[in-house]
Chain A
Amino acid sequence: MSSRDRILARIRRAVGERGPDAEGEPGASGRAGAPGYARIPRDYLRVHGVRTPQESADLLAAHLAEYRAAVHRTDRHGLPALLAGLLDARGARTVLVPPGLPPSWLSRAGQARVADRAASTARELDAVDSVVTGCALAVAETGSIVLDAGPGQGRRRITLIPDHHVCVVRAPEQVVDSVPLALALLDPARPLTWISGPSATSDIELDRVEGVHGPRTLEVVLLTAAED
């Protein structure tokens, strides 16, 4: 008997023999769950509060700042200068640019561009100063930005190895209020990275220290609609 069969047999004995499973009830995405799945209580809130898009963006900014991410706001006219300024202020000489990042975003930046390539080694990426990306969405209630390797976000490692990450969030379009609303929009088949503030540890006497292994500086740019 294989270990697989042994474990499954032990489970069936442990929970009591059940008759042949009734017609599976649909799970959240339409696939069959086990009988009884639909009876799990779901009376918790989809969202904690009623907010205007502006209020949601403000809440996102406040929660990000509380976890010591720097938050900036601009529109598409101001974005190239803002990004160039952030990179210059950091003293960055090189910047990682994922495929699909709108070229206009970095049109004012003088830094040497490093492409996100599968062939790059981790050591090569370690030599890069900054990375600029977009995101899949951001969650206001938790102060999180979510990357799904879509256009303008690149591979997971490029937002991890450089010490400075600038993430552009289109507000309000990419801002959702809550975790349940965010999950409903995400595709589990893609690799997902939720980022809530910069890398941090509380392992030494529970004193929070930013930056252990991931980027020590996280800057989030809320890109709002232009006035024109």
Chain B
Amino acid sequence: MPAFPPFPEAARQAVGDGVLRANLRHATHTIRDKRARAVAELADWDRLRAAGKAVKDHTLRHLDHYLVQLEEAVTAAGGTVHWAVDADEANRIVTALVLATGEREVVKVKSMATQEIGLNEALAAAGIAAYETDLAELIVQLGHDRPSHILVPAIHRNRAEIRDIFRTEMGRWGRPAPEGLGDDPRELAEAARLHLREKFLRAKVAVSGANFMVAETGTLVVFESEGNGRMCLTLPETLISVVGIEKVVPTFRDLEVFLQTLPRSSTAERMNPYTTLWTGTTEGDGPAAFHLVLLDNGRTDTLADATGRQALRCIRCSACLNVCPVYERAGGHAYGSVHPGPIGAILSPQLRGTASAIDASLPYASTLCGACYEVCPVAIDIPEVLVHLRERIAQGGPVTRNGVRVRIRPARGHTAERAAMRAARLLLDHPGALSTATRLLARARRLRPRRLPGPGRAWTDTRELPELPAESFRAWWTRERGTPR
């Protein structure tokens, strides 16, 4: 994994990019308006949301039970289940499975889990070419770029940029772009169709993720729109699915909740064009071999945090990105993670730990406005987790890393904040001192500087210091009501 700059640094660069901001603004506003209409169609949305939350919380509480049940069901249906503690182990398992088929190329369905573990890079190191087949992922891959949105990874690119990428890069990977390719989305989609169809028709091995896994039946579910998912899930002889352990739900019936909430929250449609559900292997229809790789990679550590574990409810709909004022201006790359936006700001520091500067900065990449919580179809209280993680970073405290309970030290650079909090606690615990302090402050209001000295300077670089009132609230109350409180 390359080292990403901390969020404030990356964001400062991004907000200076006018094209990027225009692309993002257009996209996020379009999709958030459509989503609101799609959600308003269902009178029971709040109850579906509560049920989705409850299903996920219940499953997480009994994750061991449901994973074992899932393993039994997948195995009984003709699949093989593998368990991977971390990214390296998952990559080793997938690489070995591909090599065992004798193939040197795989087609891929868009999958956050395989991006998270850096699977394409690991396969390349073993001499295996991995082709992304989702149009947006293809744009990202051909552009030597990184995804910047959960649902529409190339959201930061406009049509002219995409045409240029296709023209210069397609020929190096297979069928070149047609002569004189224009920048009409229809033309660009057609170029992608021709380029990728060659790969689909010869592919022997596919790699996918999954949106849901059903413990009771061993069924896996993939939601998509283009048909590239169906191509990968049904044409090759071998299918390897890498799925985070939090994606399991107890029963087939539970899907009735998410089949209603996921499409409306993510693409703002009543239903996405294609949803594929498969259970193990089916004689004569689809892959003859099916492997399921169950991925931990920080998820059990996240589960160990009673406040933070709600991030594991996430169904990757991306609604929180589209309403976030910070995401809208900074873009997905600033988050330095495959999970951008508000959910990325709570998921990445939990999955990866907060040792790096980027991960320690992510919980601060928010205004805490709460819009992300409002739209979340599984009611993840993202602001609550952000504040919780900020506290953990500023104060230090117990966390679980790689299954082991450790105590992290307070992060550097938060000394002033900690000192301020200590001072505040002292004052608030001592009413006499507090009233003296507020009186003194009111008298000193003419002396208010425009910028703070010392460690406070960074804070006032981007903020105005508040005006000091002529008298404190407590003084005002006493004057107006007569009784000191």
B-contacting residues of A (Cβ < 8 Å)? 2-4, 6-15, 21, 27-29, 31, 33-37, 39-45, 48, 63, 67, 118, 121-123, 126, 139, 141-144, 149, 155-157, 160, 179-180, 183-184, 188-207, 209, 211-215
Q: Are A212 and B193 in contact (CB-based, < 8 A)? A: yes
The answer to whether A200 and B285 touch across the interface, beta carbons within 8 angstroms, is no
In the complex, whether B48 has a CB less than 8 A from a CB of chain A is yes
A33–B185 CB distance below 8 A: no
Task: Say whether B242 faces chain A, with CB atoms less than 8 Å apart.
Answer: no
Give the distance to chain B from A14, nearest Cβ to Cβ, in Å: 4
Residue of B nearest to A63 (CB): B270
CA distance A118 to B309 in the complex (A): 45
CA distance A171 to B233 in the complex (A): 30
Query: A8 contacts B64, CB within 8 Å?
Result: yes
The residues of B that contact A157 with a CB separation of less than 8 Å are: 230, 234-235, 285-286
Chain A neighbourhood of B65, CB < 8 A: 21, 34
A28 to B249, CA, bound (A): 12
A125 CB to closest chain B CB (Å) equals: 9
B311 surroundings in chain A (CB, below 8 A) = none
Q: How far is the CB of B119 from chain A (nearest CB, A)?
A: 17
Decide if A11 touches B227 in the complex (CB within 8 Å).
Answer: no
**Chain B binding surface SS class:** helix
Candidates B217, B272, B300, B403; contact of A188 at CB < 8 Å: B217
- Bound together, the chains give a CA A13 to CA B139 distance in angstroms of 42
Residues A7 and B47 in contact, CB atoms below 8 Å apart? no
B185 touches A11 (CB 8 A): no
Contact A44 B186, beta carbon cutoff 8 Å: no
B361 in the interface (beta carbon within 8 A): no
Q: In the bound complex, do residue A122 and residue B201 qualify as a contact, i.e. CB atoms below 8 Å apart? A: yes
Total number of B residues with any Cβ neighbor in A under 8 Å: 100
Our pick among B63, B89, B252 for the contact of A3 (Cβ within 8 Å) is B89
Partner-binding segment picked from B77-85, B340-348, B379-387, B429-437: B77-85
* A31/B216 in contact, CB under 8 A: yes
Complex interface: chain B residues within 8 A of A41 (CB): 47, 50-51, 54
Check B358 for interface membership: any CB of A closer than 8 A. no
A-B contact pairs, 19 of them (CB 8 A): A3-B85, A7-B294, A14-B300, A14-B400, A15-B62, A15-B63, A40-B58, A41-B51, A44-B47, A118-B285, A122-B235, A126-B197, A157-B235, A183-B256, A191-B282, A192-B278, A197-B273, A206-B155, A211-B193
> Closest chain B residue to A204 by CB distance?
B185
Other than the given A11-B63, A188-B277, A214-B274, 15 more pairs (CB < 8 A) read A7-B245, A10-B303, A27-B216, A36-B58, A36-B61, A155-B286, A188-B279, A189-B77, A192-B276, A193-B276, A194-B277, A212-B192, A213-B197, A213-B226, A213-B227
Q: Which of B128-136, B313-321, B363-371 contacts A (4 or more CB under 8 A)?
A: B128-136
Residues of B with C-beta under 8 A to A194:
259, 271, 274-277
List chain B residues, Cβ under 8 A from A199.
225-227, 273-274
Chain B contacts for A215, CB-based, 8 A = 227
Known: A196-B270, A213-B227. A3 touches B256 (CB 8 A): no
Closest to A38 in B: B58
Contacts of B278 in A (CB 8 A): 191-192
Q: Which residues, 131 to 165 on B, are CB-close (under 8 Å) to A?
A: 133-136, 139, 152, 154-155, 158-159, 162
With A21-B65, A196-B270 as contacts: A191 and B403 at CB distance below 8 Å: no
Contacting residues, chain B, for A28 (C-beta < 8 A): 216, 251-254
Which residue of B is nearest A192, CB measured? B277
**B250 contacts the other chain (Cβ, under 8 Å)?**
yes
Point out which of B251, B255, B272, B279 has the most chain A C-beta atoms below 10 A from its C-beta: B251
- Residue of A37, A192, A193, A206 touching B152 (CB-CB under 8 A): A206
Say whether B61 contacts A7, CB under 8 Å: no
Contact residue among A7, A48, A160 (Cβ-Cβ distance under 8 Å from B43): A48
